[in-house]
Structure formats: C-alpha cells, structure tokens
Chains A and B, each alone.
Chain A
Amino acid sequence: MDFWTAMEYAAWGISIVLVGWMLVDARFVSTTYGEDFLLSSREGDE
C-alpha cells in the first residue's frame, strides 16, 4: 500500500470515528436528559 492509499484509508477511518463519536454522544444525551429540557431553549431568553 502506497502513502496516498494509506492516507485515503486514514481519512475514511477518522471520518467514521468522528461521526460515530457524535452519534454515540447524541444518543447518550437523549437517554440521560429529557426532551423537555433539551428543547427548552427559547428565542430571546438571557
């Protein structure tokens, strides 16, 4: 495997890790906190 092919695989791998991390975190947040709290932001609130 040459350098550039390795870079391509590395880019795919890092992308999967980053998106996977966000999905797992989002799932964790949804199961830990209630929807009423997560959706409680109101425009104009200080």
Chain B
Amino acid sequence: MGTTTAAAGKQEKISLLKVLGPVHVWALGVGIVLVGEYMGWNFSVAKGGAYGALIACWVIGLLYTCVAMIDSEVTSTVAAAGGQYTQAKHIIGPLMAFNVGLYLVMAYTMLEAADALVVGDLLKAVAAQYGAELDPRPFVVLTIAFLAWLNYRGVFMTLTVNFVITAFAVLAILVLFFSTTGIAGGESVLRHSELLTDLPYGWIGVLASLQFGMWYYLGIEGTCQAAEEVRSAGRSIPLGTMGGMMTLLIAASLTWYICTGLIPWEYLGQATTPLYDAARLTGSVELEVILFIGTMFAAIASANGCINDSSRAWFSMSRDRYMPHWFGAVHPRYRTPYRAILFLIPIAVSFAFTGLLDQVITFSILSGLLGYTFMSFNIVRFRRLWPLGSIERGYVHPFHPVPAIVLGLLCGATYFATYLGYGTSLLSIMAFYILVSIWFVVRRYPYVKRGEQFTMPWPRPKGY
C-alpha cells in the first residue's frame, strides 16, 4: 500500500463512529418529519374536510406506530447502517434489499430537495414583503451545500444541531397552542364551533385524505439509519424512535387543533404554510416571528436528517457492492461516509431545480410507502425464521402479528388513496422500480460478494 500504510498508522480497519445517544436518534426522526406539521398535512383537509384530516392524522398515526414498533424490534437486532435495507438483506433476500435501499435513497434525497425548495421559497416570500424579487436557487443550493458539509464533518455535530433546531420547532408549536387556547392567559381565539363542518365529500374524501396524512409522520423510520453510530442500539433506537413517535402524535394533534380553530377548511386545504398562517391570524408579531423561524428550522432539520439517512443507505449498499464499491469509503478523520454524502449533493440539487415540489414530494411519499409495505411481511418472516428466544433482541414489540396485519391493511388503503389523486405517479414509480430491479439482477448482482453480505452472528434460521 506504500504511503497508505504509513498514513493509516497502526489502524488497519475503519468504521463509522459510535457516538450517538437516544436524544440524537429522536432528533434524527422528529427532525426529518416535523416539517410535515408545518406544511403539507393540510392538503388532507382539502380532500376530506377538517374532521377527515383528523381521522387521517390518527389512522396514519396508527400506521406509523406499527412502523415504529416493528422497526424498533428489527433494528435493535440488526444494528447496522442502511436500516431497512440491511434488514431486507438478512431477512428476505438481495432483490428486496436492493429495492428497499433504493426506496430509502430516493425518498430521502427527494424529501431533502423539497425541504431546500421550501427554504428558498420562504426567503423569497420575505424578500417580497420588502418589495424585492429574490431568486431562490442560490439559497436552495446553499441549504444543501451547508448541510452536506455539516454531515461530512461528523455525525455528532450534525445531529446535535438537529436536536437544537428540532426542539425549537416543537416548542414553537407548543407556544402557539398555549397562546391561542388561552391556557397561557387571556381568551381563546379558537373558533371550532363556527369553523368545523361535517365531512364535505363523505367517507371517500376521508379515504383520499390518507395520502396527505402521511405528511405528519413521513420519515420517522429513518431513525434506524443511525444504528451503526449509536453507543447502544438496543437501547437508543427503540427509545429514540418511540419517543419521537409520541412527540409527533402530540404535535400533529395540536397542529390540527390550532389550525382548524383559526382557518376555515376551504382555505386551510390550500395553505402553503398553515401553522405560520395561523400565527399571523392571531395578530401577534411575536408569534408570527416564532412560527416563521420554526418553519425555517423544521425544513432545515428535515433536509439535514435526510442527508444523513440517504448517505447511510447509499453507503451500505455500496459497501455490499449493490452499488459501486468506491462509495463505501469512510473518512479517516470524521468517520463519515463522505463519498456517499458528496455524490448525493448534485442529485438533490437536480431534483430541487426541477421546481416540481408536489411531484418530488409524491415520489418521496410513494417510495416511503413501498418501504412500509415491505416491513409488514418482513417482520412476519423475521419472527418465523428467528422466533423469540433464538436470538438476542433489544426490544420485542407486543401483540405480534397484529401490528404487521394493521400495517399491511393501512398501506393498501393508502395506495388506493394515492391512486385516486396521483394514479400516474404511482404507476410511473412502480415501473421505475421494476426496470431498475431488472438492471440489478442482470448487470449489478454479479458484482456482489454473496457470502460477505450476511454479517449477523445469528444461528441457522428455523426450517433451514
């Protein structure tokens, strides 16, 4: 190796750094998701009315609770970067793993692009208030470049920053809730008795709203990408994920309660930034500023978490040669998957420069939904091949197989809801994944070192 050996010193192998705790896991999961509370969820109001959106909030909340429970059990056992990709590799097989890995990379990179677009649009709106016309593109690029740089320099600082800005965004929702309800003093400004109506489009509207109900929670499953970098995966992942899910259920319900009490459903269903709009309607400048910063921080935290997760998924696939092995490198100083982080920058910028926010988000949601569908049968197979007691689990989720069945049924209902509004996108993305699967089987799989990819010290599966 020449200079390599000398530079590398005595250390012959390198790995990602194990420095994270439950708080970082929480910051990763909630950070990715919380932007959905600040914008996007309200499109479910346009489909199903205010009550329809509340039903979607709780039904999809149930879907994600199942996701979090299942994910916590499997990840506490398969503690490696790559999350669901690694799970699929060990439990189902290579083709499923390739698809799941790609779902993750696509879902997070597209969500990152959408978050950066939001930051650019918010700054454009601020400039417009001062009578100036701002080009959002340099700020979209700056958001992606700065967050990629942060991720490049180390996971601990990245997720510590995410914790601070995510906590602020959560607190902003709480401040708005206490201010508008009058709990903090003064009279309540909420007018639910005047603004809430029956279901405007009946139960089919409620079904259609399920697609946008995913915005409340989309990305919480990303916590398991941190599995290889937490000090104790068996403790941190379940604690951070389930704590994150509880935070989101509360934040989602509060968001719905505040917004439907201030904005008529016809307007709420079309608002770009509903929580910020709700703050403006209170007439309080302080609340307006807090919620603007909250919206900005939520978008930045989401993009930050997405870079973390997409790079880990790409890194893991490359390490197993599902993608070119070159991307599986770890930075010797910062101990991050630096080539994967760098490679995904132009991809995210390209998605962002299309400017097609709704299409980018729809493709992200559909990629996520395909991943959740995989989880429902993955856990059934996991329990069948390695029953309780056969391997050590950091967490065992209760009532198996009820969460798996509920998850599968709710995914089916959400596919139908998506088909109602975005049938072409659904069919396009299915076609895309079928085509890349053929490419993987024909061209890529021969490069995979099949024996090396199974790394868990588990006994032979039951029945084999």
B-contacting residues of A (Cβ < 8 Å)? 2-4, 7-9, 11-12, 14-15, 18-19, 21-23, 25-26, 29, 32-46
Contact = CB atoms under 8 A, between A and B. Distances in A.
Given A22-B152, A41-B319, A44-B455, A8 B14 contact: no
A41 B13 contact: yes
22 contacts: A4-B132, A4-B133, A7-B134, A12-B138, A12-B142, A19-B148, A19-B345, A22-B148, A22-B149, A25-B338, A29-B333, A32-B3, A34-B4, A34-B7, A37-B4, A37-B8, A39-B329, A40-B12, A42-B13, A43-B80, A44-B79, A44-B80
B205 interface: no
B330 A14 contact: no
A8 B338 contact: no
Contact of A39 (B12, B133, B328, B345): B328
A36 B326 CA distance: 10
A16 to B, nearest CB: 8
B453 to A, nearest CB: 8
A45 B130 CA distance: 55
B338 A34 contact: no
Given A33-B7, A33-B332, A45-B13, A19 B145 contact: yes
A16 B127 CA distance: 23
B280 interface: no
Which of A12, A26, A39, A46 is most buried by chain B, counting CB atoms within 10 A of its CB? A39
Given A4-B127, A22-B152, A40 B13 contact: yes
B185 interface: no
Nearest to A9: B138
Interface string B326-370: 101111110000110110010000000000000000000000000
B316 A15 contact: no
A29 B7 CA distance: 10
Interface in B449-464: 453, 455-457
A36 B342 CA distance: 20
A14 to B, nearest CB: 6
Contact of B145 (A8, A18, A36, A44): A18
Q: Is chain A's interface secondary structure helix, strand, loop, or mixed overall?
A: helix
Interface residues of B, number: 54
B5 interface: yes
Contact of A8 (B134, B325, B456): B134
A22 B43 CA distance: 39
Interface of B: 1-5, 7-8, 11-16, 79-82, 86, 127, 130, 132-135, 138-139, 141-142, 145-146, 148-149, 152, 228, 316, 319-320, 325-326, 328-333, 338-339, 341-342, 345, 453, 455-457
A8 B13 CA distance: 43
Given A4-B134, A41-B16, A14 B145 contact: yes
Contacts of A35: 4, 326, 329
A41 B15 contact: yes
B149 A38 contact: no
Nearest to A38: B329
Given A2-B132, A41-B330, A43-B86, A34 B138 contact: no
Contacts of B3: 32, 34
Nearest to A16: B145
A2 B135 CA distance: 13
Contact of A34 (B8, B80, B320, B339): B8
B14 to A, nearest CB: 5
Contacts of A42: 13, 15, 319, 455
B138 A8 contact: yes
Nearest to A3: B132
Given A2-B132, A38-B14, A33 B149 contact: no
A45 B4 CA distance: 22
B132 A14 contact: no
A34 B1 CA distance: 6
Given A4-B132, A43-B316, A38 B332 contact: yes
Contacts of A19: 145, 148-149, 345
Contact of A37 (B134, B139, B332, B339): B332
Contacts of B138: 8-9, 11-12, 15
